Chain A
């Protein structure tokens, strides 16, 4: 691995709007037009170092693609993250009426069972390189858990800001790691603005604010893994859940980067976006043919996708337009049906965002926007154990009996469904 330069394979931070370049520091907004900053790489050098053989010789974690991840040296946080299974989902494919279907299963990502471990391990590794001792985030779920866990393992102090009405289970998932959890009372917008103010005022690595250019790049590892696990090829269709829209843009970027450095052959592909109908600013805009979104007030069981003013919404719309893709959204009932379908067909229990992805894929296939003879990858980003409340009361029922064989036999005989299962 070529590592002679201090900044690794990064060249600069670059404004996505005007292209101005900035030093590789903890900063995230262009001073001229307030456009978001993104990491620019030295692809000529990466091409010499990152070959298929080099990748295949490395441990099976997200860091096997580290030349394309924004850290200068070796990773120091989350060294075991990633390389989650890409499951060939034949039973689900049959149910949805598609020739070839794969599920990229980040429901089993290490250590906190969501794709956020990818972005957080990148953000925290980079934070340590920049000399930070304290990391922070504002979150209602997966991100908080991941920051708390990865910071604990790395010996970093952590602050997690949450809205005061958050469910107790989600709070415990951060408190257990010793994070300083600060619960803020107030309307969502007020809490959001306060968190942004705190991020600007204190000298911390706020993972999704001043560390965002690095943090967001971690999502690319999901795309890199899909390409390698598919046998170094690009799937014709990828369905990605959208909250801020960042993951969709980074999956697209990962495909482009592998093409650029010659690891996969260029091919036509479509990156489709999935949202819940109760929070669909991006999919509504895409369906209306707009290149901007209108803010919405979220009202959905898919809490992990409930962002009414998505920061990367504009860029996600652009990617879908560029790749000839579609967006779609699904109701809460369709989300639950998607969760059940994935669980019953493939034994994968996804959180609500996974139900959104499956539900949207079903719609796109049924409407022919994903043709039945094509191949598709569904991105599942979190574990169903985290959103049990969303499906409680909707996934069948227990049959209660006394400890009596006679009673069990009577039950079997009374229900055709049970009798058929024998």
Chain B
């Protein structure tokens, strides 16, 4: 059984990390190939793990591998586009 780790463990080598996100698209972006665009604009490896698309919302569970700075820039780009970006846990901040 895995128990508490005593020391900080880097996620990956050389500042590269894996980030798991939920992307929520408004209706106007549902037809746009957002993940394809993202993978061409930023040096990140994209891996779609789950998808649900309706007329009203698109939800994509996406794994991003890359340098931390590159992932942060990709998230910023997504948000600017109007995509809601949540960690895989959704709301970590509770009351």
A interface with B by C-beta (< 8 Å): 23-29, 32-34, 116, 127, 130-133, 137-143, 161, 163, 188-189, 191-193, 195-197, 199-205, 208-209, 212, 243-244, 290, 292, 294-295, 303-311, 353
Contact = CB atoms under 8 A, between A and B. Distances in A.
Contacts of B4: 26, 127, 130-133, 203-205
A309 B84 contact: yes
Contact of B95 (A195, A199, A243): A243
Q: Report which residue of B20, B85, B94 has the largest number of chain A beta carbons within 10 angstroms of its beta carbon.
A: B94
B2 A199 contact: no
Contacts of A203: 4-9
A29 B95 contact: no
Per DSSP, chain B at the interface is loop
B37 interface: no
A384 to B, nearest CB: 14
Contacts of B85: 189, 193
Nearest to A305: B95
A17 B6 CA distance: 31
A199 B89 CA distance: 11
Interface stretch (B28-36, B38-46, B55-63): B55-63
A33 B85 CA distance: 17
Contacts of A308: 91
B14 interface: no
Contacts of A192: 86-87, 91-93
B89 to A, nearest CB: 5
Interface residues of B, number: 37
B88 interface: yes
9 contacts: A23-B1, A23-B2, A29-B89, A127-B4, A189-B84, A197-B87, A203-B6, A295-B84, A309-B86
Q: Report which residue of A26, A189, A306 has the largest number of chain B beta carbons within 10 angstroms of its beta carbon.
A: A189
Contacts of B94: 137-140, 143, 208, 243-244, 307
Contacts of B22: 309
A143 B93 CA distance: 9
Q: Report which residue of B52, B61, B92 has the largest number of chain A beta carbons within 10 angstroms of its beta carbon.
A: B92
A25 to B, nearest CB: 4
Q: Report which residue of B59, B86, B89, B93 has the largest number of chain A beta carbons within 10 angstroms of its beta carbon.
A: B93
Nearest to B93: A138
A307 B91 contact: yes
Given A292-B54, A309-B84, A29 B20 contact: yes
B91 A310 contact: yes
A311 B61 CA distance: 13
Given A26-B2, A133-B4, A139 B95 contact: yes
B48 to A, nearest CB: 11
User: Closest 5 A-B residue pairs measured CB to CB?
Assistant: A203-B5, A304-B95, A196-B87, A311-B90, A25-B2
Nearest to A246: B94
Given A33-B49, A305-B95, A28 B6 contact: no
A202 B8 contact: yes
Q: Report which residue of B2, B8, B54, B91 has the largest number of chain A beta carbons within 10 angstroms of its beta carbon.
A: B91
A33 B93 contact: no
Contact of A292 (B7, B8, B52, B84): B52
A201 B91 CA distance: 17
Contact of B93 (A29, A191, A295): A191
A308 B22 CA distance: 14
A29 B89 CA distance: 8
A196 B5 contact: no
A27 B90 contact: no
B24 interface: yes
A188 B92 CA distance: 11
B91 A212 contact: no
Given A34-B20, A189-B79, A195 B93 contact: yes
Contacts of A195: 92-93
